[in-house]
Amino acid sequence: MEMINENVFDTVQLNLLFQKRRSVFPEQYVAGKKIPDEIVMQLLENANWAPTHKLTEPWRFVVFSGEGLKKLAGFQSSLYKKTAGEKFKQGKYEKMQTTPLLCSHMIAIGMKRSGSVPEIEEVEAVACAVENLFLSVTAYGLGGYWSTGGVTYVDEAKSFFGLNPEDKLLGFFYLGYIQTPSVQGKRGAVGEKIIWVKD
Ligand SMILES: Cc1cc2nc3c(=O)[nH]c(=O)nc-3n(C[C@H](O)[C@H](O)[C@H](O)COP(=O)(O)O)c2cc1C
């Protein structure tokens, strides 16, 4: 009888998944079309299986949908207006109010600091979780991207997302059904980023 190894996956499919994953921006979504929350939960379940040193599981997500997107739009635009100073741009302010409404969901990405491992390792673990989320989004035929724009690095934003001063807001994951796919991706040859040591 043939042995079935549960750890073997369809590598042809997987290679395609990694290489076809593309950032898909809100202007490319079917405006406001809702992804079922059960699917979003599955995407986040996959994110939750990221590697994590000492099992600190530092990723935190705040999921905005429906009226929640309006709440987020209002919060980020008014905080931007309050804190931008001389850098304030009316166009950016208006985009912060309107872009969330093009999405199905927006997910604030937080890093909850445990203190048990160096901070960079908790940021790295969250980045792994985001990549799990991103690849899952791709596998479901959905569009998304990770943004570190807006109020990501404004300290006053943290508490709105349930984060303490020692935690970090690492950006936002935008989600929607794809109307206009992204163009093919571009990368330099991997060979130029590898040093092999064999003997
Ligand atoms: C940590 C991180 C932050 C990013 N922030 C932004 C951003 O603020 N705005 C943006 O347009 N793209 C942002 N991106 C997406 C990159 O522009 C995108 O990954 C890159 O153009 C490569 O395209 P691809 O994701 O389709 O391969 C971010 C990506 C990462 C990993």
Find the 4 Cα to ligand 1 centroid distance in Å: 39
φ/ψ of 64, rounded to 5, equals -110, 130
Q: Is the pTM of this model over 0.85?
A: yes
3: pLDDT strictly greater than 80:
no
CATH number at residue 93: 3.40.109.10
Residue 184 lies in a domain: no
**Ligand 1 neighbourhood includes 152 CB (under 6 angstroms):** no
φ/ψ of 124, rounded to 5, equals -60, -40
Residue 4 lies in a domain: no
Q: What is the mean pLDDT of the chain?
A: 96
pLDDT of residue 1: 57
Q: What does the radius of gyration of the chain's CA atoms come to, in whole angstroms?
A: 19
Q: Which atom of ligand 1 is nearest the CA belonging to 186?
A: 27
| 3 state SS of 106 | strand
The pLDDT tens digits for 12-26 are 999 999 999 999 999
pLDDT band for position 138 (50/70/90)? very high
Phi-psi label, residue 32: left if phi above 0, alpha if psi -120 to 50, beta otherwise: left
Tell me which residue of 78, 76, 80 sits closest to 64, measured CA to CA.
Answer: 76
Domain that holds residue 34: 27-179
State the total domains in the chain: 1
pLDDT of residue 72: 98
| For range 35-62, the mean pLDDT | 98
**Ligand 1 neighbourhood includes 181 CB (under 6 angstroms):** no
**Ligand 1 neighbourhood includes 46 CB (under 6 angstroms):** no
Residue 187 lies in a domain: no
- What type of residue sits at position 2? E
Residue 193 lies in a domain: no
